Amino acid sequence: MSDWQLAPHRTVCIEDLRQLATRRLPRVLFDYIDGGAEGERTLAQNTRAFEEIVLRPRSAVSVQSVDLHTNILGHQLNLPFVLAPVGSTRLFFPRGEQCAARAATSAGTAYTLSTLSGTTLEEVRQSASGPLWYQLYLVGGREVAQSAIARARAAGYTALVVTIDTPVSGFRERDARNGMQPLSSGSLGERLRFLPQFVTKPSWVSGFIMDGRPMTFPNIVLPTGPMPYADVGAALAQSAVTWNDFRWIHEAWQGPIVVKGVHTAADAYRAVEEGAAAIVVSNHGGRQLDGVAATLHVLPEVVAAVGDRVQVLMDGGIRRGSDIVKAMALGAKAVLVGRAYAYGVAAAGEPGARRAIDILRTDLMRTMALLGCPSLAELDESYITRRTPSP
Ligand SMILES: Cc1cc2nc3c(=O)[nH]c(=O)nc-3n(C[C@H](O)[C@H](O)[C@H](O)COP(=O)(O)O)c2cc1C
């Protein structure tokens, strides 16, 4: 077994998995995961916001065990975090979506499959027995989306996650520099310029070839067949979701809908009016509109606005168990994690994803014990405070 396959077991934090991912992936793919939109200000803010919150432990309290079970959308999960939709995961590692779904199942949590995945939603369903959510973009138009929704229903997905923050694709400067577009749709001459980054990554190259060089999205079935990677940017720009779409989406899905990409109390109200069962305070991990607030800063406003009417989840910047604690102390019912497990998949497939989940779980247990808080339900603002600005 090569070094990178063994290494995930030796990682002790998500940053270690990130380092392994850098070693295995060509730059264009590592940066696709790691990067954010434009100047990456929101990307940086998402993680920095957690540093601004300080924990306030109750000492001399013995916490023997912490129950991490969390009920989300009527499902009892073993953990208060769910794997977020991450497009193109199959490019990170052969059958990457199935690796992530299996890792989620064995940890007793849910996996969210992105519309922009390289594996069919039925194959992902077959490979994992735990709860699966399907994330919807309207790429390809309403009929194409309706057919994906029907397939997700038939396959037994339990929630539909409608992402509302992507009227066009955010501009990620690292992708532009690394030749993301020419590599997927350019002429041979244009591609050649960016090929050297693959020469030093033989394990990724062999995995990609053995996986059949997947360069289509099989859940976006156009009259001409599955949508190729090359067309996705333009297709996203023609397929913005609006609040008016929620009526037909509800009719087609007939199950719980999670609205992902809420930044304000006003949009949270609107999502509730449109029948959301849960909302995700999310800025897409800083990949869409750069310059928006860190999600942790927006969370209290949204929680105050919707109260107990729907479950409020959040994502963005979660790299440690203590980040999950802080989000829950500020009112999140649970969180979604994106890059944390994507680095794991990129580093080593399923063992990497399992390791990422394990790191977050053990971090969370330890943080709760050190905090003197025996249950997630008891987490509230009394356990945190804002860092005093240094003089
Ligand atoms: C590489 C990558 C691809 C993503 N693709 C999607 C997607 O297809 N659909 C979606 O709703 N969100 C997508 N997201 C956003 C995540 O679902 C999530 O909101 C974000 O990663 C949370 O921030 P974090 O990575 O700091 O945990 C993607 C994120 C990353 C890093």
Shortest-distance atom of ligand 1 to CA 46: 26
CB 163 near ligand 1, within 6 Å: yes
Locate all alpha helices (DSSP H) within 52-166, ordered by sequence: 89-92, 96-107, 121-127, 142-155
Shortest-distance atom of ligand 1 to CA 32: 1
pLDDT at residue 26 tops 90 = yes
Helix (H, G, I), strand (E, B) or coil at 123: helix
**Residue 233: its pLDDT value, please?**
82
Whether 362 is covered by a domain: the verdict is: yes
Shortest-distance atom of ligand 1 to CA 284: 19
Q: How far apart are CA 289 and CA 286, in angstroms?
A: 7
pLDDT digits (tens, 9 = 90+) for 27-51: 999 999 999 999 999 999 999 999 9
Q: What share of the chain is helix, strand, coil (3-state, %, to 5)?
A: 50, 15, 35
pLDDT at residue 391 tops 80 = no
Neighbours of 228 (CB within 10 A): 16
- In a mutational test of the pocket of ligand 1, which residue from 137, 163, 284 has the highest number of ligand atoms less than 8 Å from its CB? 284
Structural domain tally of the chain?
1
Whether 390 is covered by a domain: the verdict is: no
Shortest-distance atom of ligand 1 to CA 163: 11
Quick one: pLDDT band at residue 389, thresholds 50, 70, 90? low
Which residues have a Cβ under 8 Å from the Cβ of 199 and sit 6 or more positions away? Answer: none
Whether 205 is covered by a domain: the verdict is: yes
Q: How far apart are CA 93 and CA 356, in angstroms?
A: 15
Give the percent of the chain with pLDDT over 90. Answer: 90
* Sequential DSSP letters for 140-169: T-HHHHHHHHHHHHHHT--EEEEE-S-SS-
Tell me if 19 sits within 8 A of 3, measured CB to CB. no
Quick one: pLDDT band at residue 53, thresholds 50, 70, 90? very high
**Residue 131: its pLDDT value, please?**
97
**Residue 318: its pLDDT value, please?**
98
CB 35 near ligand 1, within 6 Å: no
Q: Residue 285's domain is classified under what CATH number? A: 3.20.20.70
Only one residue has tokens 């599955």, namely: 226
CB 337 near ligand 1, within 6 Å: yes
CB 286 near ligand 1, within 6 Å: no
H/E stretch holding 344 reads: helix 339-348
- In a mutational test of the pocket of ligand 1, which residue from 86, 113, 117, 292 has the highest number of ligand atoms less than 8 Å from its CB? 86
Give 136's strand partners: 162
pLDDT at residue 179 tops 70 = yes
Whether 322 is covered by a domain: the verdict is: yes
Q: Tell me what the pLDDT averaged over the chain comes to.
A: 95
CB 165 near ligand 1, within 6 Å: no
Q: CA separation (Å) from 225 to 140, 216, 218, 271, 373?
A: 11, 9, 8, 33, 53
Q: How far apart are CA 336 and CA 313, in angstroms?
A: 7
| Token reading at 95 | 């059958």
Whether 389 is covered by a domain: the verdict is: no
Tell me if 54 sits within 8 A of 384, measured CB to CB. yes
Quick one: pLDDT band at residue 1, thresholds 50, 70, 90? very low
Whether 309 is covered by a domain: the verdict is: yes
Neighbours of 338 (CB within 10 A): 21
Whether 112 is covered by a domain: the verdict is: yes
Nearest CA to ligand 1 atom 21: 338
pLDDT digits (tens, 9 = 90+) for 126-143: 999 999 999 999 999 999
CA of 234 to the centre of ligand 1 (A): 19
- Supply angle C-alpha 42, 173, 23, rounded to 5: 90
- The closest of 90, 88, 72, 87 to 131, measured between CA atoms, is 72
Whether 21 is covered by a domain: the verdict is: yes
**Which value, to the nearest 10 degrees, does the dihedral of the CA atoms of residues 200, 202, 207, 208 take?**
50
Q: How far apart are CA 49 and CA 293, in angstroms?
A: 9
Query: What distance lies between CA 213 and its chain's CA centroid?
Result: 23
- Crossing angle of helices 321-329 and 295-306, in 10° steps, is 40
Whether the model pTM is above 0.85:
yes
Active site residue 9: no
User: Average pLDDT for residues 257-273, to the nearest whole number?
Assistant: 98
pLDDT digits (tens, 9 = 90+) for 230-252: 888 888 888 899 999 999 999 99
Which residues have a Cβ under 8 Å from the Cβ of 346 and sit 6 or more positions away? Answer: 20, 21, 24, 25, 29, 30, 33, 92, 93, 96, 352
- The closest of 105, 117, 16, 1 to 352, measured between CA atoms, is 16
pLDDT at residue 5 tops 60 = no
- Out of 75, 263, 284, 297, which one is annotated catalytic? 284
